[in-house]
Structures are given as structure tokens and as C-alpha cells.
Amino acid sequence: MSSTVLVINSGSSSIKYQLVDPASGESLASGLVERIGESEGHVKHRAGSETTELHDPVPDHANGMRTVLGLFEKVGPVLADANIVAVGHRVVQGGEYYDGPVLVDDEVVGVIDRLSPVAPLHNPPNLTGIRVARELLPDVPHVAVFDTAFFRNLPAPAATYALNREVAERYKVRRYGAHGTSHQYVSARAAELVGGDSANLRQIVLHLGNGASASAVVGAHAVDTSMGLTPLEGLVMGTRTGDIDPAVVFHLARNAGMSIDEIDDLLNKRSGMKGLTGHNDLRQVHRLAESGDEAATLAVEVYAHRLRKYIGAYAAVMGGLDVLSFTAGVGENDTIVRARAVAGLEFLGVEIDEARNEARSKEARFISPDGARVAVLVVPTNEELAIARQAVSLL
């Protein structure tokens, strides 16, 4: 029977998981544990066409993982029969240490822990997931797949901030990027779709989900990306500002009497589309805009303006552009955002076919007209499959 990988993405109050066949790409089961530590928890387990939901409290991650393993036992697929060859863990920050997947041992656990100051919202819960899963599944190799790995070897001019060098070196301040697993998967898939020699193919990937990032990729290598020391920099996101003058922080601290933690919360959780309109979900923002809400109309323009800026910048960084791909929740579904993002970019050879842009599909597809200078694509991302394949590639 074919082998499988259990992929785990452990967040601060949630655990997402999927049992994947890395060879066929088939998802055999998937699920989500939410509201860990709250008075009522929520567990959703999908296996084939069957969905099981629980609403008991989930006091901690260990408890959540035990519940998940119990569901595999009760509802299936039975893990003992699933030929699991690895557990793949999504880890956000691998710092300067990892440019690819790594087998988890105590030393790797130590490194992920030490990197927590540059990923305070992500690395600690990622690590909790690893600790719990290693305890409960001790006989399978555990592999960490880092969101930063694809960007570890960015050219120095793209990775370096013009910050005092001593300070930057001492505190490890540089561009690390994020969403790397998705950018790598989508750019590889796009190269396949476009066909031909991809060694010098110049691509821009726009990963537009609740978090959003852009990358410039030449051949199989990332040459720039919009997220920085943390996932706050770059594009306008669901709740994050993206690029902003750092002096806004001093201004608010000095004149609004806000603490650093309050400003952190403001920029990360109360800004972006949510800060501009009250909603982080683009579908709601579009509904408001359609009803004549001026703030929502402006917010969509701000979002698209930032995208156009990055497309132009990255085309300049690469000396041209061959492929532009949209992915993640907004990128895969939002026809308005896609159309606005490329409006006026005909001078770069970027144009889309309206009917193709409007057609709904779950498949990777071209939305540029035949014969266009730049292939514009929608490529559904699949981070779980990418993690599963990277885990297996290591074994």
C-alpha cells in the first residue's frame, strides 16, 4: 500500500491536520481543532465523505492531539494501517538555520525555541504541536518544514535592511519572508503549466489569503519577497497593515500614549482590510463596496494599489516578467481583486481575459489571453501536500 504523511499545523489555539498520500496528492483525512483552552472547543474531522464534529472543551494541545488520534481510531482511517512514514510539521520561522526540511531532534527543537523572539505568535505554538506529536507518535520520524526556508538564500541586497549593521547583526534583523512553502509549490506548479525551459523563468507569486505576500522567483530560486523580519511587512492583509512608515510607531507611542504591545496589536490585528472597513474577509468588503460604502471602495483600491506596486517592483528586480500567479483564498477566488491588481499593467505585457478570470474552477489555470507576453495564472496552493512531499524527500 502507498505511504502517507500526517501533516500538522499547530497554532496558538488551534491544530490543523491532514493525512496525505504524497505520491498521488490525495488527502485521506483532514481536520481542525479550534478554541483550545476556551470553555467550549470545536473539533472537525473529515474522512472521505464523512464529517465528525465535537464541541467538548479542549484544555490544551496535548488533549487536542489525543482527541484527533482517537477520531482516527474511531472514524478512520486507522493510523496503524495507514503506513505513515513521517509526521510533517509546519514551522513559521527557521531563521538563518534552515533552507530546507529537517528531521526533528532535541537540537532542532532547541533552535525553533531560540527563534521564538522573531516569531512570537507562531514558533511557540508550532513547537507545542511538535512536542505533543513526538510524545504521542514516537515511532515515526518527525520533520519540520519552515515557512522561511524558500527565502533563506535570498540575494543579500534583498535580504538586508538599511539598518545599523551592528544592531542588525546582533539582533538578527533581516528579511526572512514567510509563506515560503506556498511560494515554492506554486512557482514550481506554474513552471510546469507554462512548460518549456524554466531555468531562467521570471515569476511573481501573489499569495493572497488572510495573510498575504508576494515573491519574485527566477528559475527555482526566490530573489525577493514582501514579508520581512515578521509577516507584518509587505502587502495589505486581512488584519495587518503591510508596509507602513516605521515612524508611525514612534508617533503613536509619543502622541497617542500607546504601549509597544498595543501598537503591535493595532498593526497586526486591527489594521489591514479590517482596520479600513471593519471586515477582514474580502467577500464582505466587496458587498459593502457594492452597497456604496466609500471606505470599502477605497480599501479595495488600497489593496490593489499595493499589489500593482509590488508587481512593478519585482518585474524591475528581475529585469522582466514571464509568469504571474495568484493563489490562496483571495488569489484563487476573488475575480475583482485579480482584475484590479493587473489593471494598467499592459505595458509590462500583463493582461487578463475577462471570461477566463470570471470562470470558477478548483484547477490551476491560465487567465491571460492566448499568446499574451506574460502568462497570468490562478494556481491553488496546497501547503499540506508540499509539506508531505518535502518530509518524504528527506527520508
Residue 302 one-letter amino acid: V
Q: Which residues bind ligand AMP (CB under 6 A)?
A: 209-210, 238, 280-283, 328-330, 333-334
For ligand AMP, the closer of residues 328 and 374 by Cβ is 328
Minimum distance from residue 66 beta carbon to ligand AMP (Å) = 27
As measured in angstroms, the least distance from the Cβ of 209 to ligand AMP is 3
- SS3 call for 235: coil
**Which letter does DSSP use for residue 81 in this model?**
G
Nearer to ligand AMP, 381 or 390 (CB): 381
Nearer to ligand AMP (CB atom), residue 287 or residue 309? 287
Whether omega for the bond prior to residue 77 falls within 30 degrees of 0, making it cis, is: yes
How many residues are recorded in the chain? 395
Rounded Cα distance between 303 and 305, Å, is 6
CA distance 139 to 321: 47
Dist. CA 375–CA 73, nearest whole Å = 46
* Shortest Å, Cβ 73 to ligand AMP: 29
Residue whose C-beta lies closest to ligand AMP:
329
Q: Report which of 229, 228, 225 is spatially closest to residue 216, judged by C-alpha positions.
A: 225
3-state secondary structure 136-155: HCCCCCEEEEECCHHHCCCC
d(CA 20, CA 390) in angstroms, rounded, equals 12
In angstroms, what is the minimal distance from the CB of 207 to ligand AMP?
8
Q: In what order do the strands lie in the sheet with 202-208?
A: 221-225, 212-218, 202-208, 323-327, 375-378, 365-366
At closest approach, how far in Å is the CB of 378 from ligand AMP?
A: 12
| For ligand AMP, the closer CB: 63 or 284 | 284
DSSP 8-state code for residue 80: G
Choose between 233 and 322: whose C-beta lies nearer to ligand AMP.
233
**What does the DSSP 8-state code read for residue 292?**
T
Active site residue 147: yes
The single-letter DSSP state of residue 362 is S
For 102: left if phi > 0, alpha if psi spans -120 to 50, otherwise beta; the answer is: beta
Pick the closer one to ligand AMP by CB: 203 or 327. 327
- Based on CB atoms, which residue is closest to ligand AMP, 99 or 281? 281
Shortest Å distance, C-beta 358 to ligand AMP: 12
**Residue 181 CB, nearest approach to ligand AMP (Å):** 13
Q: Among residues 21, 60, 99, 147, which one is catalytic?
A: 147
Q: Is 264 exposed, middle or buried (0-12, 13-18, 19+ CB in 10 A)?
A: middle
Q: What is the CA radius of gyration of the chain?
A: 21
Residue positions annotated with a catalytic role? 147
